[in-house]
Amino acid sequence: MWCQLVHSRKQRQDDIKSCLADKEFRGSTGRNGGVAAARGSESAQALYFGMRVNRRRALILAMASIAVLCWYVVRFDGDPKPVDPLLVAHLHEAPAWEAQPTLLQNIDEPTAIYIVSGLPGSGGLFEALRLDVNSGARSSTRIRFGPNTAYIPFDSAEVTGIPAIEFHGVTHRRPTFHLLTIPGPGGPGFHLVDSATGVMHVVVRTGNTSRSLLTRTVINSNRMSETGSLLWVNRSRQMAAFLWQEADIWTLYLFSLVFVADLDGHRCVDVLQG
């Protein structure tokens, strides 16, 4: 009887130790599992964050590449925007495939200009278009111009400095792809061309003041160097002309350089009087 009681008590103690050991094992396993789960979560978050950063960098790089590509490829030559012109005339009589037409003025007709294009005909006479500055009326005629005649050509603004060209923007040399180099040997490659992005102003200065005659917006334009050759002024410095070639036609923009004061003392453009 006594032996059975001792054996039963010892068995209960063993059962209690086994239970405690089992609990301790389960607690240790739970703690280790929690740490592993936490570490796994942190690794997943770090991986997700890294993927987001990589995607953002890729997006920024793609956008920068597109911007650079557009900067070097996209070109825009805006149409001239005249400010209070005397006359804007499309010169259908002077095809764009011909050289820039010649502008002349008869010393006896201050309110008319003559536009000549092409070569002289029989007798040395040129086919000319006569434009009335005030009314815009046009008519065809034949004239002879040169030394000792009544027809005086307009002067280049590049020589006279009147009017002047001002550019507000950025100019640089950009690489441009070419297939061949002419003259001389050479295959595909890149060469540098002048490029301008901004707004061009044609201005006339009077004393300390200036007035804008015409503006033009450009993006990556390589035509700025030729703009000066399109600007003219008559011998009396009363009129300025800007010739613009677009598509298959020349367009003439005519401006008065004569200023008068109105009743309020403001400066305004005076219509030329004959």
pLDDT at 117: 86
The reply to whether 2 and 83 lie within a common domain is no
Cα angle 92, 94, 95 (rounded to 5 degrees) comes to 85
The reply to whether 90 and 48 lie within a common domain is no
Count, residues in the chain: 274
**Contacts of 269 by beta carbon, 8 Å cutoff, 6+ apart:** 84, 86, 255, 256, 258, 259
**Does residue 113 belong to any structural domain of this protein?**
no
Bridge partner residues of 47 (DSSP):
none
Integer Cα distance of 216 and 198 in angstroms: 9
**Contacts of 92 by beta carbon, 8 Å cutoff, 6+ apart:** 249
pLDDT at 27: 52
Integer Cα distance of 178 and 148 in angstroms: 49
The reply to whether 49 and 93 lie within a common domain is no
**Does residue 61 belong to any structural domain of this protein?**
yes
Residue range(s) defining the domain that contains residue 36: 1-73
H/E segment holding residue 24: helix 2-73
pLDDT tens over the chain, length 274 residues: 434 444 455 565 666 556 555 555 455 555 455 545 556 566 666 666 667 777 778 888 888 777 666 666 677 888 999 999 999 999 987 776 678 999 999 999 999 999 998 888 778 899 999 999 999 999 999 999 888 899 999 999 999 999 999 999 988 777 766 666 666 666 676 667 778 889 999 999 877 788 999 999 998 888 788 888 999 999 999 999 999 988 778 999 999 998 644 434 444 555 455 4
The reply to whether 80 and 68 lie within a common domain is no
Residue 104 in tokens = 């002349």
What's the total number of domains in the chain? 2
DSSP 207: T
Cβ proximity of 152 and 169 under 8 Å: no
Closest CA to 226 of 255, 192, 254, 200: 200
pLDDT at 160: 93
Last residue of a domain, one of 18, 39, 73: 73
Bridge partner residues of 217 (DSSP):
199
pLDDT at 194: 77
The reply to whether 84 and 50 lie within a common domain is no
**Does residue 205 belong to any structural domain of this protein?**
yes
The reply to whether 69 and 195 lie within a common domain is no
**Contacts of 29 by beta carbon, 8 Å cutoff, 6+ apart:** none
DSSP 3-state of 45? helix
The reply to whether 162 and 225 lie within a common domain is yes
Q: How many CB atoms lie within 10 A of CB 143?
A: 17
